[in-house]
Structure 1
Amino acid sequence: MIPERSQRENLLERAAGLLEALGFSVARQLTPSCFDLLARDGDTIFLLKILSNVDSLTEEQSIDLRRVSNVIGATPMLIGESARGETMMEHTVYERYNIACVSFKTFENALSEHNFPFVYSKKGGFYSHLNTDYLRKLMQKNNISAGALAREAGISKSSLLNYERGQGASIENIERLQEALGDLVLDPIDVFRFEEESPELSSGGSRIERIVESHFGDIGFRTAAVTKASFSLIGRSKKDIIFTGLESKSLEKRAEDIRVSSKVLGQHGMFVLKKTEERQVSGVPVLGEQEFQETVTSKQLLKLLRELEEVD
């Protein structure tokens, strides 16, 4: 049996390779994070978590993944191999904490061929959405009422009416309807527009997080606090994004993650530390707490970051 870690690393390499082959710029994370790959091609941005078993995603990771995605305008997704103890089916969408989970093949088909899945998994089985226009036309063509069709298919009339309103139908009931009415058309699921609600952006918990977050707000940035990433805060003001690290632990690895992530987006990263003699680490500017608080506008902060990015 292949160790789960090796399976995950292989899956990560395949996902990164696919994205790069399709022209995406890809940032891989060195430190444990709520996401493993950040990929961008023009206005299309993906934030991907790669897991051999998608059930191992924690709620905390999912919240962070969705928060970061919300701020940078990315699509959050999980790519995995197994769910609920079974191999993930191809052409099928799974879901964890309101995030789409798919197999590598399903992701590849959707991304490279725009071949989207028709089936989604939830507790109780597998479901699809019937194309309601086609269903109604077929019922009219066969001159059959909802009640008569439901009786012939062996399902409740209320279920059939719900399907006509767009509710998902179990695969078993779809098969029963097809036996009674003929082949039906299913609506594809756009896995890149899966998320239905935005997470709360949250506030930082530590003293320095509160200070930095407060000053970000003063100069026009909205922020999101993150616990499972190389950065602790991410700030956005209009089109400008700043990945902000607040910890000196494993500074070089964190800096590399922030550098490549900000580079892929054409944005900025920085560290704000209580005390520091460094001006930059791996190309990422390092500001002292007081220095950061002395910036009075977003333009001044961005100008300072650009200057420090050029320091050798």
Structure 2
Amino acid sequence: MKRDAIVKETREALAKTGFFLSRPHGERGLCFDMVARRDDTLLIVKVFQNVDALSKETAQELKAIARTLDGSPLVVGERSGTGALEDGVIYSRFGVPILCRSTLHEFLEEGVPPFLFSAPGGLYVRLDATALRRMRDERGLSLGALAEIAGVSRRTIQMYLEGMAATLDVAMRLEDVLSESLALPVDPFAFVDDAASTRDPAPRLEGFERELFQRLQRLGYDVLPTIRSPFDALSKREATTLLTGVGGVGSALDRKADIVSNISRVVEKDSVMFVVRRARMSIRGVPVIAREELRRAKDSDDVEEMISERKG
């Protein structure tokens, strides 16, 4: 199946199950293809035919955006270099969860979560350590007896009792002999991120963009520059996060504002465009602030007041 068809199926599955989606933007080379929200769940989604095409740089920006927006990154794909992605398995590349189409559909439409995740060495299952401890106590099983059932060492059994995941074969042997389910479902939308490991060095900035981001930082914003996104940065201060666009003229500025405006509605964050000279107060509902106006701003409250006044 071609990538465009996978994108279409992914959008349909999300929309069918109550997600509000950003419009297709048609831009290539971006770190995400769509954003989708349902209640408190926000997904930043990238689609590949071959998931090996997910680069480290794209994954890092995808995770950084998800973290800043309190969302979860997700890649949907069809295959990797070793073959088709298996149904019911969560894969991972550079810390980004990866699902095939059928796994996503089953989870969204049928409420069937995946129970397996791929890691070096094969497929693994999260064991219910509490249930395993209970069964051991109720049946008077020693560590050695459990180790013999599972075909592993006593030390490994102890680690299972403390919450370590098991290979699929081990989990199946334990469940067969104990006649109880031990496998825990895995939530593909639960994102656990090590922020310190997800950022490349800041991109080299020049001209107006460099001046702008430095000014925003002096006004109290944490600025996350982006390279592979429709917006140019995410600017965050306390509970405020701004989708930030920079420059552009004519139809290019209008198109950028249109895309950013749509995304901002889905992620439920304000957006703003900064330009050298302003001809309009807003574009497609996105407030526009000129260089001189930003220079005159005394603090972040002045910036946010201009944004509030100019929202369409």
Same fold? TM cut 0.5: yes
Cα shift readout 1:8-56 (whole Å, capped 9, x = no counterpart) = 2122122222322333221133323111111123332111111122211
1:81 equivalent to 2:68? Answer no
Q: TM-score, normalised by structure 2?
A: 0.86
Q: What is the distance in 1 between the residues matched to 2:46 and 2:63?
A: 11
Q: Out of 279, 288, 297, which is 1:295 matched to?
A: 297
1:243 equivalent to 2:243? Answer yes
Q: Out of 136, 139, 159, which is 2:136 matched to?
A: 139
1:254 equivalent to 2:251? Answer no
Tell me whether 71-80 or 27-36 shows the greater mean CA deviation: 27-36
Secondary structure of the structure 1 residue equivalent to 2:215: helix
Secondary structure of the structure 2 residue equivalent to 1:192: coil
Cα shift readout 1:160-210 (whole Å, capped 9, x = no counterpart) = 222121111111222333455444411111222132322459645213333
Once the two structures are superposed, the pairs formed by residues 139-218 of structure 1 within 5 Å of their partners are: 139-198=136-195, 199-200=198-199, 203=202, 205-207=204-206, 208-218=208-218
Contact in 1 for aligned 2:273/2:289 (Cα 8 Å): yes
Contact in 1 for aligned 2:51/2:78 (Cα 8 Å): yes
Q: What is the distance in 1 between the residues matched to 2:71 and 2:78?
A: 23
CA gap of 1:143–1:99, structure 2 versus 1, over 3 A, is same
Q: Out of 27, 35, 43, which is 2:22 matched to?
A: 27
Q: What is the distance in 1 between the residues matched to 2:221 and 2:105?
A: 36
1:71 equivalent to 2:73? Answer no
> How many corresponding residue pairs?
305
Q: What is the distance in 2 between the residues matched to 1:297 and 1:201?
A: 29
Q: What is the distance in 1 between the residues matched to 2:139 and 2:106?
A: 35
CA gap of 1:23–1:171, structure 2 versus 1, over 3 A, is closer
Secondary structure of the structure 1 residue equivalent to 2:189: helix
Tell me whether 143-152 or 117-126 shows the greater mean CA deviation: 143-152
Look up the equivalent residue of 1:143 and give its one-letter code.
Answer: G
Contact in 2 for aligned 1:201/1:223 (Cα 8 Å): no
CA gap of 1:234–1:196, structure 2 versus 1, over 3 A, is closer
Unaligned 5+ residue runs, structure 1? none
Give how far 1:73 is off.
0.9
Give how far 1:115 is off.
2.8
CA gap of 1:202–1:53, structure 2 versus 1, over 3 A, is same
RMSD over aligned Cα atoms: 2.5
Q: What is the distance in 1 between the residues matched to 2:258 and 2:65?
A: 18
Give how far 1:280 is off.
4.3
1:91 equivalent to 2:88? Answer yes
Q: What is the distance in 1 between the residues matched to 2:236 and 2:150?
A: 54
Give how far 1:94 is off.
0.5
Identity rate, percent: 23
Tell me whether 21-30 or 184-193 shows the greater mean CA deviation: 21-30
Look up the equivalent residue of 1:287 and give its one-letter code.
Answer: I
Tell me whether 206-215 or 196-205 shows the greater mean CA deviation: 196-205
Q: What is the distance in 1 between the residues matched to 2:273 and 2:241?
A: 14
1:126 equivalent to 2:123? Answer yes
